[in-house]
Amino acid sequence: MVPAAITDKVVDELATHLQSGDTIIDGGNSYFRDDRRRSAHLKKSGIHYLDVGTSGGVWGLERGYCMMIGGDKEAVDRLDPIFKALAPGRGNLERTPGRDKLGGTAEEGYLHCGTSGAGHFVKMVHNGIEYGLMAAFGEGFDILASANVSLKKGQVDAETAPIGDDYVYDINLADVAEVITITASALAGYTADGWVAAHRALVDAVKPSFVLLTHTYQTRDFAPALASALDRALITDCTAIKAGASGPLFTRPMFQGKLAADVRPLGDAPCLVTMQIGAYRADAARRGASPAPLRALDVAIDAATIRQVPEAPFREARQAVDLSQAERIVAVGRGIKGPEHLPLAQALADALGAQVAASRPICDAGWLPMERQIGSSGQTVAPKLYVAVGISGAIQHVVGMKGARTIVAINKDAEAPIFEVADYGYVGDLFEFLPALTAELGSDAVKGG
């Protein structure tokens, strides 16, 4: 291993002392195109040239070096005992579930990546990913540490430069007591048994009063098994948490969204609760003064107890729009009267840079696709702006949008329940008001009939 600048000179001098069948190993950081050129030149004399990208740093002598090898297969196979001796090996680590029949040398810590140049090319990609991640983490921690630093009192003298306005920003850090992490090879791919084992170990170690989970497809898969293993109550699909006389009440839709029930858990702690995505706004979380401390929890998960084989996460068919990510939404209800009036809402949405959504009756009638439905049996959203057009405000719809930062209601019925949750309201004919509002916003969209 020599500096890249003199590699050509060293290789040329070394080649004069070698004969056909000998091998030169370049363990430095040569450019992969130079590797290919040197290999082609030495091949004329029957000399093999292997480029080996190494990773291991200061711990390499103790733990071994991971190696990415490029060159012809004959030479690589002949030197395999050397590479195997230098590599860290798998040791007594358990294989990741589902990879019991992996084979090859990769899990031992070295890999023949291809022809000449491939080793250093793969190492170059490896370095790029590694350094990129390190830089991203470093930048992220610096942003957290520097939040509002210019607002803090500090030394003021001729030798201390003023910070300026670049560091006047807030970081909305949630008021979290602690962040606990679990790392285990058995969790590399999702399995219900693995997730149950990890969460059960976490509950045993922390002894929480409640375990809150997001109501996702994965949670629906493992949460019932976790509740059964812990012999504890499970309340699913919740949209709100209320203070009750004897403890928290969890609001969840029932009977296909026709009723919202406040449920009080019974039995010993912890109670498991799954929350709908969008039930609460992230920016509404109580702020903490500093980042929460991190703690790694050492958990041993026996791979032999995992009965499932990891598969790719379940994904719904790709939707035209993910309303949960929309910052502004214009939603229509039965007050729109017919699909021929939908251009009115679309024009307003275009003027606002918003997505169009609807209450269930609109989607049931086929006026808009089901993926646009907001409510207990549709999507739950929490946009910055939610404009409800001709929506009465039944509880089934409100549970899906009450987390919006600002709610504007447009309805001719002054007694409509939607006004109870609205920040702003207009009582009147939407067919007159929407074109006027759209025009005021500067839209050129067509007026509905």
Q: How many CA atoms lie within 13 A of 245 on its CB side?
A: 0
**Adjacent-strand bridge partners of 273:** 212, 235
Q: How many CA atoms lie within 13 A of 113 on its CB side?
A: 24
Average pLDDT, integer, range 243-249: 87
CB atoms inside a 10 Å sphere around CB 357: 32
Q: Report how far residue 419's alpha carbon sits from residue 319's, in angstroms, rounded to the nearest whole number.
A: 31
Q: Which two tokens stand for residue 310?
A: 């990891």
Q: How many residues does the chain have?
A: 449
pLDDT tens, position by position, 97-117 = 666 656 678 888 899 999 999
Please name the helix (run of DSSP H) or strand (run of DSSP E) that holds residue 410, with its range, or none.
strand 406-411
* 45 pLDDT more than 90: yes
* 1 pLDDT more than 70: no
Please name the helix (run of DSSP H) or strand (run of DSSP E) that holds residue 160, with its range, or none.
none
Q: Which residue has the higher pLDDT, 141 or 146?
A: 141
Average pLDDT, integer, range 252-263: 79
- Residues 169 and 147 sit within 8 Å (Cβ to Cβ): yes
Q: Report how far residue 31's alpha carbon sits from residue 28's, in angstroms, rounded to the nearest whole number.
A: 9
Residue type, 242: K
130 among known catalytic residues: yes
Buried-state track 212-248, b at ≥16 Cβ within 10 A, e below 16: ebebeeebebbbeebbeebebbbbbbbbbbeeeeeeb
Cβ neighbourhood burial of 373 (10 Å; 0-12, 13-18, 19+): buried
* 39 pLDDT more than 60: yes
Q: Which two tokens stand for residue 407?
A: 């709610």
- pLDDT confidence of residue 256: 67
Which residue out of 13, 74, 130, 311 is catalytically annotated? 130
Average pLDDT, integer, range 404-432: 92
Average pLDDT, integer, range 123-132: 83
**Adjacent-strand bridge partners of 427:** 411
pLDDT tens, position by position, 311-364 = 776 665 555 567 888 899 999 999 999 999 999 999 999 999 999 999 999 998
Which residues touch 388 (CB under 8 Å, ≥6 apart)?
Answer: 331, 333, 401, 407, 408, 409, 410, 411, 418, 422
- pLDDT confidence of residue 316: 57
How far apart, in Å, are the Cα atoms of 393 and each of 295, 387, 388, 418?
44, 12, 9, 4
- pLDDT confidence of residue 245: 84
Q: Which two tokens stand for residue 367?
A: 């006026």
- pLDDT confidence of residue 160: 52
